[in-house]
Chain A
Amino acid sequence: FLDNAEFRPFFKFCFEFNREGTKRFLERDTALALLPLCIEDRSKHTLNFLEFLETKPEDFKINRDQWCSFLDFSLAVGPAPEFDGWDSEESSWPILIDEYVEFVQEKLKET
């Protein structure tokens, strides 16, 4: 069972392996299927993130930076609703991650 440091390259490899040819992204549906498989239970954000991805249009594409950042983000920031370690003012995470956090916060507000 790989520890987190060794897992990172594997996670990146999952992305590389599944992209098509010279394209630098994964289709939305591919990502939706692939993510839970690779990440298993290393991330507490998986379900929420998948829900968030579903709100994106069908032709939405996720790039390598966003993919790998998801893993780093899961390791650095705690689960909803607290999102421990999340700094909204100076976030250097990809905008996709910012949107994801916002999405979950909005969702929680409504319930």
Chain B
Amino acid sequence: MASGRKVVIKPFRAHCQMDKEQAQQMWRVLVSAVAEIYNKNASVLSFEELYRNAYNLVLHKHGDLLYTGIQETVRTRLRSVMEDVIRSPDDQLLSQVCVQWKEHQVTMVMVRDILMYMDRTYVPQSKKMTVYDLGLWAFRETIVRHELVRERLRKLLLANIRSERLGQLIDHNSMRCALNMLTELGGDGSSIYEEDFELFFLEDTCRFYRCESRLFLSEHSCPDYLRKIESRITEEMKRVPNYLHASTRPKLKHIVEHELISAHASTLIGSKKIGFSTLLKESEYKMDDLRRMYALFLQAPATLDMLRTALYEHARTAGRLLIIDQIKEPIGFVRSLLALRTKYKKVVYIAFQRETLAQKKLKEAFDSFLNADIRCASSLVAYIDELMRTGFKGSTESEVEHELDKVIVIFRYLQDKDIFEVFYKQYLAKRLLNRRSTSSEAERQMLAKLKSECGYQYTTKLEGMLTDIRFSRNTMEKYAAHQDRLPPTSEVRSNASGSESDTKESCDMEVTVLTSGYWPPQSIVSCAIPSHAAAAAGDFQSFYLEQHSGRKLTWLTGSGTAELKASFSATAKHELNVSTYQMCILSQFNKLNCRAELSLQEIIDVTKIPHIELKRHLVSLCTPKHRILQKKSKGKGLSNDDSFQVNELFLSKLKRIRVPLVAMREITPHPHQTDHIPAAVQEDRRHLCEATVVRIMKARKQAKHNDLIAEVTRQLNQRFYPQPQSIKKCIESLLEREYLERSSQDPRMYIYLA
């Protein structure tokens, strides 16, 4: 109770009720405060007082009043804002909205601060929206979703983006602000950003790029197109941090990739007008474009497979064409093949970034065309032959290594390695016997590489051949030492007009001893050799068999050379290097006087040389260049009643003459012309197959048909690829010979018969 002038402080009564009047009073204070806030006059307000007012209202159970009041206030205010906004022309709408939004945010924060107690107590209790959210909702409904704002705003945003795509500069700030606003206005289940903007944006983007890409591609080349889309993709991805919401990024990326890359992948790859294939053809110059293509396609992984397949197709076709073009010239073919491989390897390494799948595809391509034609195996052998004979002259060891490595790379692709072995053996034999190999070290290196590829069994015979040559040299040394210890024999030279000597005749001889299992089969038809040669041979043979008893020596008169000293007249003396057969032929003329003739038949009878070989060697002695013998009949061929005599008028500038053998029209085709598997190889394969089947069945006792086929294939695969039909034939043969039988319960099961 107040009295006089004393200031009385009423005690604070916590339980005192606040009546409606007081509540309204407080409320009015708050309303005017909010108005001040809206008018940007917040600085005149006392935060503490306002907070207290709100606090009290809520405390005294007038929360409803407060809440509805503030709701209404906010709405009213926003409605008036809306009037302004909808009236703004298009070019100002965006900035207006942004401005209003920023202000709204600021004011709402302040209001929320004042009403924070209500937010914390009344709002959860009555399950209403918080003040700030209330503001958001109101802003959204009143302004952003207003029918005169919503679409206009969206269209403006999209138009801006479109202009930017077409090269114009736009205001990123307002874009960012607007899109942020949309994001923030979402919540409570709906995403304003997505519904009102993103959906349309994505659709627009899709349409835009679909159109642009089609147009561009029709007018430009593939590399240009790739460059364009590369820049477009970068541009679009920048758009996200610039003003788009982060959640749009994956969706945008997907659309862009799809429209720009996937949709046109097949055209880009297959188009003749500088598509992928053309790029590949000129891969030397177009590596950058290829690299770009791969990098772009990498972003749309489904298209990468198409790219790889195209690479495969291209390599395979190129390989096939190469075969058709050049296989007749094996050495050139292999060189081109190596170049082809290098080219594609580069593409895979640089453009495809060494990707494993691409490497695999390349291997498959080479596998397929190299194994479609057997001549590839024989060409490779011919190429190696060339290297060994002439190519390695003057090369360093590392150069040799390098070349052989390249060869092995091609060798690895070959499926029918047993065919390669057969040819290699033939060529190697020729090289070794004719001393044509430049370096035995190189030969050994090659064999070592083959051994590490295929195992030691593959190269035993080949190595055996090399060893034979080495041993023969040793043997000759020993023999020479042995000869030195013997009393000297007199030598007789082949003398066309001389007489026989009656002392023991002999001549120098160099022998190469071959182990028959290692070398390719040689025909063993012997002829009658002249006595002095026979004597030397006999000497050597007894020496050798003394060293190695139990062995058998057979002389291969079909090979070998002889050096003859020939006197055609008193002045014309020459040394002739001829084949063994030719030596036999020529020495027949020794026994006669100079003008004597020998008929073909006589020569055959005495020398016993096989007819076909005889003709060849004989004709070689009658050629215009080396007319050592003169034959009766004119022309190139021999007739059956031909006769021969020594050509006394033989002239040559050289002292030492090598008489070459004329090439016969081949009876059997040259390995290069045949594209069938040699019979020996087929036979060999059959035996191997049967042996493998027996071995497997012996171990397993029984096996199902499919398992057996699979296992046989697996075991033989290193050497060649066995066709399932041929394996089946082997199985049937074994069934017939009762090595196996079919099970009576299941005809697909085979049982081993001990």
Partner-B contacts on A (CB < 8 A): 8, 24, 63-65, 68-69, 72, 76, 90, 92-95
Contact = CB atoms under 8 A, between A and B. Distances in A.
B172 interface: no
Nearest to A24: B736
B725 interface: yes
A69 B736 contact: no
Given A65-B742, A69-B742, A93 B747 contact: yes
A27 B307 CA distance: 59
Q: Does more than half of chain A's interface fall in helix, strand or loop, or is it mixed? A: helix
Interface stretch (B210-218, B635-643, B678-686, B727-735): B727-735
A87 B705 CA distance: 13
B732 to A, nearest CB: 6
14 contacts: A24-B736, A63-B735, A65-B735, A65-B736, A65-B742, A72-B747, A90-B705, A90-B706, A92-B704, A92-B747, A92-B748, A95-B728, A95-B729, A95-B732
Nearest to B741: A65
B744 interface: yes
Contacts of A24: 736
A69 B747 contact: yes
The 6 closest A-B pairs by CB, nearest first: A92-B705, A92-B748, A65-B735, A72-B747, A63-B736, A90-B706
A65 B729 CA distance: 13
Interface in B669-723: 704-706
A98 B161 CA distance: 70
Residue from B732, B744, B747 having most chain A Cβ neighbours under 10 A = B747
Nearest to A69: B747
Q: Does more than half of chain B's interface fall in helix, strand or loop, or is it mixed? A: helix
Contacts of A64: 736
Contacts of B705: 90, 92
A8 B748 CA distance: 16
Contacts of B735: 63, 65, 94
A8 B728 contact: no
B732 A65 contact: yes
B725 A95 contact: yes
Contacts of B732: 65, 94-95
A72 B747 CA distance: 7
Interface residues of B, number: 13
Residue from A8, A76, A90 having most chain B Cβ neighbours under 10 A = A90
Contacts of B704: 92
A101 B732 CA distance: 18
Interface in B509-547: none
Contacts of A92: 704-706, 747-748
Nearest to A90: B706
A93 B731 CA distance: 11
Given A93-B747, A95-B729, 7 more contacts: A24-B736, A65-B735, A72-B747, A76-B747, A90-B706, A92-B747, A95-B728
A95 B726 CA distance: 10
Residue from A65, A68, A72, A95 having most chain B Cβ neighbours under 10 A = A65
Contacts of B706: 90, 92
Nearest to A9: B744
Contacts of A68: 742
Contacts of B725: 95
Contacts of B748: 92
B352 to A, nearest CB: 35
Contacts of A76: 747
A8 B747 CA distance: 12
Residue from A90, A92, A95 having most chain B Cβ neighbours under 10 A = A92
A24 B739 CA distance: 14
Nearest to A64: B736
Nearest to B737: A24
Nearest to A71: B747
A93 B725 CA distance: 11
A8 B736 contact: no
Contacts of A63: 735-736
Nearest to A63: B736
Contacts of A72: 747
Interface string B437-476: 0000000000000000000000000000000000000000
Nearest to B705: A92
A65 B750 CA distance: 12
A15 to B, nearest CB: 13
A8 B742 CA distance: 13
A41 to B, nearest CB: 21
Nearest to A65: B735
Nearest to B748: A92
A64 B742 CA distance: 11
Contacts of A95: 725, 728-729, 732
Contacts of B744: 8
A92 B709 CA distance: 10
Contacts of B747: 69, 72, 76, 92-93
A78 to B, nearest CB: 16
A3 to B, nearest CB: 15
Contacts of A93: 747
